Every structure is written in C-alpha cells, then in structure tokens.
A and B are shown apart, each in its own frame.
Chain A
Amino acid sequence: SQQGEEDPQALSIQEGENATMNCSYKTSINNLQWYRQNSGRGLVHLILIRSNEREKHSGRLRVTLDTSKKSSSLLITASRAADTASYFCAFVGRGNNNDMRFGAGTRLTVKP
C-alpha cells in the first residue's frame, strides 16, 4: 500500500501546550499536505510543503519534511481547545496524476 503512517494515533494535551504529529511514507513524492478533520466532517486543507522544501510555517502551524527519511511532522504551537480534531498527512507520489494517499491520522484532543 502507498498509504502513509502517522504517529501517534492519538494525542491528548492541555491548552497552551504544543502538539507534534509525525507522518511517514514509502514512495517518492511531489509534495506533502496536512489536512484537518473535525469529527464526521469533511477534511480541510491546512498546509502544503513541496518536496524541495524543508520547513514551512502558517500561523501556529509548522511543517517539516525530510525526504531522505521519507517523513514529515506537523507542529501546532500554543494549542487551543478548538484545535481538537483528527489530522491527516496526504501525499501525491511522483507520476501518479494527483492520486492522493492519506495517512491513518492522529486524533488530537486539547483539554481546556
């Protein structure tokens, strides 16, 4: 399977703490994205990092990409209760015509 793997599967933290989620994949990629899903709702795109980038920021989000290790991490700083959701990495393999594969997701709970 070309699915990604994420860890941890679940993460519970207090408001104000940082949350780090990791994603590993097996194929060569064009880019890697992170999406967020509130319970039972559609996914929402958060950030995209290209294969030639190593780090990217967007507000309280920081994404890193290590293509040599085929891994990425998503850091959410100063978390809020509203950040409670599932977070998925997604990637498109080279030459796969936008066939995007998703990781299994990390379920983040931020306690107020």
Chain B
Amino acid sequence: DSGVTQTPKHLITATGQRVTLRCSPRSGDLSVYWYQQSLDQGLQFLIQYYNGEERAKGNILERFSAQQFPDLHSELNLSSLELGDSALYFCASSAGGYIQYFGAGTRLSVL
C-alpha cells in the first residue's frame, strides 16, 4: 500500500459529461501529480501541485483542470468528456524529493 488513496476506482460516464477524480496523498507529502495512462499514449504527465499551488504543467487539455486543497488532497476535473478520454488516471505524491508514490488509479470509461 503506497499510502495514496484515489477515488472512485471505476467511473463510467457518457460523452459530454463532467467528472471529478479525487486523490489523498501520503501523510505529509506536499506534492501531488496527476497522470493519464492510455494504451496508445502511454503514461502522460498532466499537472503537479505543491502545497496548494500549481508547480508544473504537462500535456493537460484545457477541458481538464485540477486543484489542491488546504488539507492537501487534490481533485482532477474532466469536462466535456470525449471517448478518447477513457483511460486510467493516476495520482502520485512525493515529499518534495524525486521519488513518487502512486495511487491505485481511477479507471474512466466514457461511453
């Protein structure tokens, strides 16, 4: 168990809808990262937050947004969903060093 909790484990929704994925980092970790893993794109870095502030941005679409709250949990919001957004979404956390601890992921299916 990595100590990173992601909910929900599975999410099935329709095109055009909006969903929110939630991540609770390991106790004490200030950094949270979001990744998307799909069969054709591999593991793609989306965005990083550090202690509530955006730190780095990767291949995140404008339809996607994230935030980190004062209690350090983070949410990834995906809107106007398309079939191609179906993927595994991972959250990871770190204490500020380079090693990241991953949650079990949320499997999103857009029908």
Interface residues of A (CB under 8 A from B): 3, 30-31, 33, 35, 40-45, 48, 88, 92, 96-105
Known: A40-B88, A41-B104, A42-B105. A102 touches B33 (CB 8 A): no
Residue B86 at the chain A interface, CB threshold 8 Å: no
Q: How far is the CB of A86 from chain B (nearest CB, A)?
A: 10
**Residue among A41, A48, A100, A103 having the largest count of chain B Cβ atoms under 10 Å:** A100
Interface of A is mostly: strand
Size band of the B side of the interface?
20 to 34
B 27-73 contacts with A by CB, 8 A:
31, 33, 35, 42-43, 45, 48, 55-56, 58
Q: Are B105 and A98 neighbours in the complex by a CB distance under 8 Å? A: no
Q: How far is the CA of A103 from the CA of B43 in the complex (A)?
A: 8
Q: How far is the CA of A45 from the CA of B92 in the complex (A)?
A: 11
User: Which residues from B are CB-within-8-Å of A42?
Assistant: 2, 4, 90, 92, 102-105
User: Which residues from A are CB-within-8-Å of B88?
Assistant: 40
Apart from A42-B90, A96-B56, A98-B31, 6 more pairs, CB < 8 Å = A40-B88, A40-B105, A43-B102, A98-B55, A98-B94, A105-B43
Q: How far is the CA of A98 from the CA of B56 in the complex (A)?
A: 8
Q: How far is the CA of A3 from the CA of B101 in the complex (A)?
A: 20
Q: How far is the CA of A33 from the CA of B99 in the complex (A)?
A: 8
The 4 closest A-B pairs by CB, nearest first: A42-B102, A102-B43, A99-B56, A43-B102
Q: How far is the CB of B59 from chain A (nearest CB, A)?
A: 9
Q: Contacting B107 at CB < 8 Å: which of A3, A40, A104?
A: A40
Q: How far is the CA of A12 from the CA of B103 in the complex (A)?
A: 27
User: Which residues from A are CB-within-8-Å of B105?
Assistant: 40-42
Q: How far is the CB of A101 from chain B (nearest CB, A)?
A: 6
